Structure 1
Amino acid sequence: MNRQTPTKQAIVEAALHLFHLKGYHATSIRDIANKAKVNAANIAYYFKNKQGLLEFCFTSYLEDYILVLETNMTLLDLKGPQHCLLNLVKGILSFQRENFLAARFIYGESSLDSNLNREIHSTYFTKEKSYFQYILEQGIKNRSFHSVSIPMYLLQLKGLLTAPVLHTHYAMDVLHVFPQEAYYTNIYANEVGRFLQDTLFIAKDFEPQLVGRA
């Protein structure tokens, strides 16, 4: 989310803030320009229109998200499925925290029925599924993992990974947990790791550790 000029970055950050606060349809180009302290012509220059800006917010976040998955996949052959999955959990949760506003908006928006969301699900989220599925299949094959229903297990795991961004107000107002802070992300990652060890992992001679993006 940070590979653009300062002006372009300011526009994206302003758009994400306003899209999340007011909703996409209630936010105007003028609102975004005022928030970003830029001329509205800059938005047209970089994104053509508001729809183009929305699509950029999605694809920029999700391209970086897929990169996190691909980077962590290298651990599968090096350290095995258990380490790979634990590290992937930490990487994903840390990435969401570092891009918290984008994650909140995108996961909330992706629950709506739209052409953009159908494209996102058929590309990025399908690729995400393929990586997780491959790790689970390899773990079951080499007896690092118990045999589970892969679609059902992925549904549970996806729920755990997105809970901090989808239920932020509940976390903060009711549980007094702040998922946008590294301290709580690390605690939550360890709890998800414990869930994996209790429900999926077959005991090995080593003690798996959560490592990766802090």
Structure 2
Amino acid sequence: MSKLTKEKMLDAAIHLFYMQGFDGTSVRHIAEKAKVNVALVSYYFGGKQGLFEELLVKFLEGYLAVIVEEKNKDFHTNKQRLFHLLEALVHYQQEHHFLARLVHREMTLDTTLVRELMSTYSRKEKHEIELILRAGMQQAEFHKQPVDMLILQIRHLLVMPYLYPHYLQEINQLSTTEPYFIKRYMEQISLWIDRCISKEQEVRTTKLYVPLATMSNKN
């Protein structure tokens, strides 16, 4: 099987699992959408469950690779390191938004697979963020406060747009896949870091964003 054929099956599975759920998606559905022989799904992935697990691991491996890449960069301050890490992770999820939504939804369930993924990937994410926070506090860049509570807030900031996309779309008319949303969202994260973590706040100008649907032409 060519790499392209495998990617076609993975891409098909992402959309089907997201739209129809795991139980609502069959091997035949995946094969039909990918336009491959149905036997290939079972032969190369060991069935629907194997394909599903590969999708989750693929996303989390990429997520962790972003963390490692940012960790190896040079920054003047821990504040810069934290912001750029969060920015890179938000952009990674935006680039893989369907898969991000699928993974975050699955991670809310209490299953053996989820426990294994958390032990392998989520603990590493927590560890790296904790290192930045503790370094910032030790170097008097950040206010001293409970690190565990900060990590919970940071985790929510990271996953919220992709865990509740329909809420953002239907209630707030915000699309998490639009670059405009990402730009605004990162501005708010930067502001949160300034006000809730950093001892030195940047001077900012206040911007008022009005949803396009509420704007009207003025004479």
- CA distance in structure 2 between the aligned counterparts of 1:181 and 1:91, rounded to whole angstroms: 16
How many correspondences in the alignment? 203
Counterpart AA for 1:126: R
- CA distance in structure 1 between the aligned counterparts of 2:201 and 2:108, rounded to whole angstroms: 38
105-114 or 33-42: bigger deviation: 33-42
Partner of 1:185: 182
Q: 1:51 to 1:147 in 2, by over 3 A?
A: same
Deviations 1:90-133 (A, max 9, x none): 10110000000000000001111111000011110000000000
Question: Which of 85, 88, 104 is residue 88 of structure 1 equivalent to?
Answer: 85
Contact 1:103/1:165 (8 A) holds in 2? yes
Mapping of 1:34-49 within 5 angstroms? 34-49=32-47
Structure number with higher relative contact order (C-alpha < 8 Å, ≥ 6 residues apart): 1
SS in 2 for 1:145: coil
Q: 1:44 to 1:185 in 2, by over 3 A?
A: same
Partner of 1:115: 112
Please report how far the alpha carbon of residue 78 of structure 1 lies from its aligned counterpart in structure 2 after TM superposition: 3.5
Partner of 2:62: 64
Q: 1:158 to 1:205 in 2, by over 3 A?
A: closer
CA RMSD of aligned residues (A): 1.7
Mapping of 1:121-132 within 5 angstroms? 121-132=118-129
- CA distance in structure 2 between the aligned counterparts of 1:167 and 1:58, rounded to whole angstroms: 18
Partner of 1:12: 10
- CA distance in structure 2 between the aligned counterparts of 1:41 and 1:205, rounded to whole angstroms: 58
Q: Percent identity between the aligned chains?
A: 33
Contact 2:94/2:177 (8 A) holds in 1? yes
SS in 1 for 2:75: helix
Please report how far the alpha carbon of residue 80 of structure 1 lies from its aligned counterpart in structure 2 after TM superposition: 2.2
SS in 2 for 1:78: coil
Deviations 1:158-193 (A, max 9, x none): 111111101111111111111111221111011111
Counterpart AA for 1:34: E
Contact 2:17/2:102 (8 A) holds in 1? yes
SS in 1 for 2:144: coil
Please report how far the alpha carbon of residue 205 of structure 1 lies from its aligned counterpart in structure 2 after TM superposition: 8.8
Question: Which of 78, 91, 110 is residue 75 of structure 2 equivalent to?
Answer: 78
179-188 or 128-137: bigger deviation: 179-188
Q: 1:204 to 1:193 in 2, by over 3 A?
A: closer
**Structure 2, unaligned runs of 5 or more:** 205-219
Q: TM-score, normalised by structure 1?
A: 0.90
SS in 1 for 2:153: helix
Counterpart AA for 2:51: L
Partner of 1:199: 196
- CA distance in structure 2 between the aligned counterparts of 1:183 and 1:132, rounded to whole angstroms: 26
Q: 1:52 to 1:138 in 2, by over 3 A?
A: same
**Structure 1, unaligned runs of 5 or more:** 208-214
- CA distance in structure 1 between the aligned counterparts of 2:66 and 2:180, rounded to whole angstroms: 20
Report whether the alignment pairs 1:134 with 2:117: no
Contact 1:86/1:193 (8 A) holds in 2? yes
Counterpart AA for 1:71: E
Q: TM-score, normalised by structure 2?
A: 0.88
